[in-house]
Amino acid sequence: MAFHAPEDIATVLNIKPSTLRKYSLLLEQSGYTFKKNAQGHRWYSDTDLMALRKFITLKDSSGMTLEDSADAVFLWSKTQSVARQATLSTATQDDTERHEATVNELTIEERLLRLIQHQQQTIDQMAQSIQKQEEQSGQILEEVKMLKGSLQPLDAPSSDQPKIESVESSSQQPESEPETVTPKKDTRGLWARIWNK
């Protein structure tokens, strides 16, 4: 089995070495193991390369979180190793090996079940959110209809309109000019005017 340097794997996957370290750490936290040299540096096998490709595909295409993708890849790798062990095993397997395989299968099933439950919860939350948005949209639509019904068209006379028209018509009547009063010329004499006779 050939092992590759991290730089080579990063180039093949078209990602940065720091991103490769991040993905590898997430996979290790999920239970996946990489081979390491004496200095503790990771070396990647062809199987590891396949696992990393699967991880990138899951995170990009299925909308899963990085942690969920790492869990799914770990489960996939375990099923691959269990399948390989089953084909390589012989009829002389002892009871302890069978027990370990059963335990591995149970943990894989438990993790798959947990992953499915997590996805179901996410779907339920999204459905509730959509339902709330639909309810809010319905309420807004009802309010708009109510407001629309309370508004009257400009052409339709309202109950206040005759009053307004009568006020306008009275203000529009031309005002007649006041008649100028010209005083009559008093022809009486001075003493008659003084004594007002």
Asked whether the predicted pLDDT for residue 142 surpasses 70, the reply is yes
Q: What does the alpha-carbon distance between residue 161 and residue 156 come to, in Å, rounded to a whole number?
A: 10
Tens-place pLDDT, residues 97-111: 666 666 666 677 777
Tell me what pLDDT residue 18 has: 93
173 vs 63, higher pLDDT: 63
- Torsions phi, psi for 182 (to 5 deg): -100, 125
CA quadruple 26, 32, 38, 44: dihedral sign:
negative
Asked whether the predicted pLDDT for residue 69 surpasses 90, the reply is no
Query: What count of residues does the chain have?
Result: 197
Give me the CATH topology for the region 3-89+97-138: Multidrug-efflux Transporter Regulator; Chain: A; Domain 2 (1.10.1660)
Q: What does the alpha-carbon distance between residue 88 and residue 116 come to, in Å, rounded to a whole number?
A: 30
DSSP assignment of 109-135 equals HHHHHHHHHHHHHHHHHHHHHHHHHHH
The amino acid at 11: T
Asked whether the predicted pLDDT for residue 22 surpasses 90, the reply is yes
7: its two tokens: 């730089």
Q: What Rg, from alpha-carbon coordinates, does the chain have? A: 47
Tell me what pLDDT residue 15 has: 92
